[in-house]
A and B are shown apart, each in its own frame.
Chain A
Amino acid sequence: MKRIFVNEKWCLGCRLCEYYCAFANSGEINMVKALKDKPIYPRLRVEDDGGVTYAVSCRHCTDPLCVRSCIAAALSVDAGVVTIDRDRCVSCYTCILVCPYGALAHDDAGVVRKCELCLNNAIGQPACVAGCPNRAIVYEER
């Protein structure tokens, strides 16, 4: 299965991926309308320690700890993709605590959001990959 991988060597820390992610999952067709004057809740985050930058997103583990620990059965694996049923999430954040990659976060409503490879939005393929100016984020079989 194709997954998102990050080549840290080429990550510039520009954070365009975060904005393209937030836009892709906004349901809007215009980026300005989607993101202007609003806090964004992207499903991946660029970690930056001042020297190394790295976009962190869901690894779609084969045996995901988040799915195993979800008390509300909101998280599940669908054809290899770890997906979330936001209606079922009870905001206990156990998944956020157990994820070894720190790839999960919640939005302003307190509901967990996670990367679903843009398979469930209008973009249809990972927007972070398409928007990365330096091919630091790739979507491929490994």
Chain B
Amino acid sequence: MRIEYVYPEFEVVRNEARCIQCRVCERQCANEVHSFDPDTGLMLSDESKCVNCQRCVALCPTRALKIVKSDCALRENANWPQGLIKEIYKQANSGGVLLSSMGNPNPLPVYWDKILINASQVTNPSIDPLREPMETRVFLGKKPAKVERDEGDGLKCTLAPQLTLAMPVMFSAMSYGSISYNAHESLARAADALGIYYNTGEGGLHEDFYRYGQNTIVQVASGRFGVHKDYLAAGAAIEIKMGQGAKPGIGGHLPGAKIVGDISRTRMISEGTDAISPAPHHDIYSIEDLRQLVYSLKEATEYKKPIIVKVAAVHNIAAIAGGIARSGADIIAIDGFRGGTGAAPTRIRDNVGIPIEPALAAVDQRLREEGIRNQTSLVVGGSIRSAADVVKAIALGADACYIATAALLALGCHLCRSCHTGKCNWGIATQRPDLVKRLNPDIGSERLIRLMTAWKHEIMELMGGMGINSIESLRGNRLMLRGVNLNEKELEILGISHAGE
């Protein structure tokens, strides 16, 4: 028998005094951790298969289960943390690139947590959102640079196409294929009910969801999967995906095993073939090329839909965003390095890209300096975790935020970061029919609606505290922010003062 170099990461702790051997854990674990031994009448567990998704814990009717991190430890070594040693063992075993899912879990700085929000005290009144009107609606798209009048002295009111959001949050791109049909339906129905938008990701739009088109952003990525005229016409906006925060600089790869049935039809590729999104768009090697695609898509949709260009936050993001703004894009979406993914090489996810906070501040500043901030709206994602993060992002200069991990958490995701195995016990990142059905979109959409409703209340409370009654007055209002534990350079890039200043 081969030596197992890596001791299981988790332990399954079963309180035998409480276990009633109902075997629900066994039936619900796609990783086959639990089993029943008829000879002893006891439940057994193979913790080496456990990914700590907590499905069994959540469904155990007598709360007899808990999953804990194993305290079996290698000898302490500050230079060689346990994770790195285990990764060496894994690669010595597999010979392959390490794969990971969801966002970068490493303890790199989270600037949101070092930024604090202002509140009114004596000299200016705060506002109670329960008693007074509070505007959270935002419009995304090109804004006119100046007021123009026609010959009759009337205002020219024709604006470029705009997206109207009831609150400054949208569900960001997750493809049908990387997440399940029921997850997509939950997002689509919630976006429809909330007056916001969800994003198809690069896997096309399932024919059942065309009816949610008014609340759908359709994505065009480097693989061009599922892109056709009706698809472009179905969405409220079109997003060109140049990059993703979790894996800047590389493409995507949905294994052929997941290209079955409806996914094959929706992506317009044969069953069983790998869906490989190239790292670059093979027709985009310059801003001029990007401009061609932007205008091709505008032509294809008769200039009725805003075009979004999504890029990962990387070193030179301010200059890149300037180029995108000049390419004719209506909206720029920037994805920070903590953004999630259904699968990415671990080294890329954990080491490539920059945090969204400085990227956002730098881009907003550059676009203002160049006098083109009005030409595009800014949407940021890459780990927006709460209503406070949304408020901070808007005060730093964003028009709206993209959330995906938070939305998946609302659907039941427990961040076990095993999406790439395709065995999601919560029915989200899987295409196995028996697992997909675990996510009932009636429940999923309700939970998303409640989450967003809660965030909207919190956004209004935070705005009210600052004496601001409209998102428009908060945008780019960096005076409302103060930094803590930040050095001069960080404060300079974020464009905020230190607490006490």
The size class of the interface chain A forms with chain B is 20 to 34
- Contact at A135–B20, with CB atoms within 8 Å? no
**Cβ of A13: which chain B residues have Cβ within 8 Å of it?**
27
> Given B41, B61, B437, which contacts A16 in the complex, CB threshold below 8 Å?
B61
B193 part of interface (Cβ distance < 8 Å) = no
- Mask of B18-51 contacts with A, CB within 8 angstroms, 1/0: 1110111001100000000000010000000000
- Contact at A14–B24, with CB atoms within 8 Å? yes
Among the listed stretches B104-112, B145-153, B241-249, B438-446, which one makes contact with chain A, having 4 or more residues with CB under 8 Å of it?
B438-446
A133 part of interface (Cβ distance < 8 Å) = yes
A64 part of interface (Cβ distance < 8 Å) = no
**Cβ of A19: which chain B residues have Cβ within 8 Å of it?**
20, 22, 24, 61
**Cβ of A32: which chain B residues have Cβ within 8 Å of it?**
17-18, 20, 62
B454 part of interface (Cβ distance < 8 Å) = no
**Cβ of A10: which chain B residues have Cβ within 8 Å of it?**
437, 440
B416 part of interface (Cβ distance < 8 Å) = no
- Contact at A15–B20, with CB atoms within 8 Å? no
Give residues 19-51 of A contacting B (CB, 8 Å).
19-20, 23, 31-32, 35-37
> Given A12, A37, A131, A134, which contacts B61 in the complex, CB threshold below 8 Å?
A131
Given A19-B61, A31-B61, A133-B59, verify A12-B437 contact (CB < 8 Å).
yes
Q: How far is the CA of A32 from the CA of B59 in the complex (A)?
A: 15
Interface centre among A12, A16, A18, A31 (most CB of B within 10 A): A12
Q: Chain B interface secondary structure, helix, strand, loop or mixed?
A: loop
Given A16-B59, A19-B61, A32-B18, verify A9-B24 contact (CB < 8 Å).
no
Closest Cβ–Cβ distance, residue A106 to chain B (whole Å): 21
**Cβ of B41: which chain A residues have Cβ within 8 Å of it?**
37
Give residues 87-142 of A contacting B (CB, 8 Å).
131, 133-136
- Contact at B20–A36, with CB atoms within 8 Å? yes
Closest Cβ–Cβ distance, residue A17 to chain B (whole Å): 10
Give residues 376-397 of B contacting A (CB, 8 Å).
none
- Contact at A135–B22, with CB atoms within 8 Å? no
Given A16-B61, A135-B440, verify A31-B23 contact (CB < 8 Å).
no
Closest Cβ–Cβ distance, residue A51 to chain B (whole Å): 9
Closest to B23 in A: A15
Given A9-B437, A16-B61, A31-B62, verify A134-B443 contact (CB < 8 Å).
yes
Q: How far is the CA of A37 from the CA of B27 in the complex (A)?
A: 19
- Contact at A15–B437, with CB atoms within 8 Å? no
Interface centre among A14, A19, A20, A23 (most CB of B within 10 A): A14
Closest to B28 in A: A14
> Given B28, B61, B442, which contacts A135 in the complex, CB threshold below 8 Å?
B442
**Cβ of B434: which chain A residues have Cβ within 8 Å of it?**
12
Closest to B19 in A: A36
Closest Cβ–Cβ distance, residue B338 to chain A (whole Å): 31
Closest Cβ–Cβ distance, residue A21 to chain B (whole Å): 11
- Contact at A135–B62, with CB atoms within 8 Å? no
Q: How far is the CA of A9 from the CA of B440 in the complex (A)?
A: 9
Closest Cβ–Cβ distance, residue A130 to chain B (whole Å): 12
Given A13-B27, A20-B61, verify A134-B438 contact (CB < 8 Å).
yes
Q: How far is the CA of A14 from the CA of B435 in the complex (A)?
A: 12
Chain B residues with a Cβ under 8 A of chain A:
17-20, 22-24, 27-28, 41, 58-59, 61-62, 434, 437-438, 440, 442-443
Question: A12-B27, A16-B61, A134-B437 provided; 9 other pairs, C-beta below 8 A?
Answer: A9-B437, A14-B24, A14-B59, A15-B23, A19-B20, A19-B24, A31-B61, A35-B20, A135-B442
Identify 26 residue pairs between A and B in the complex whose beta-carbon atoms are under 8 Å apart, listed by A's number. A9-B437, A12-B28, A12-B437, A12-B438, A13-B27, A14-B27, A14-B28, A15-B23, A16-B22, A16-B61, A19-B20, A19-B22, A19-B24, A19-B61, A31-B61, A32-B17, A32-B62, A36-B19, A36-B20, A37-B41, A133-B59, A134-B437, A135-B440, A135-B442, A135-B443, A136-B440
Closest 7 CB pairs of A and B: A35-B20, A19-B22, A134-B440, A10-B440, A36-B20, A14-B24, A32-B18
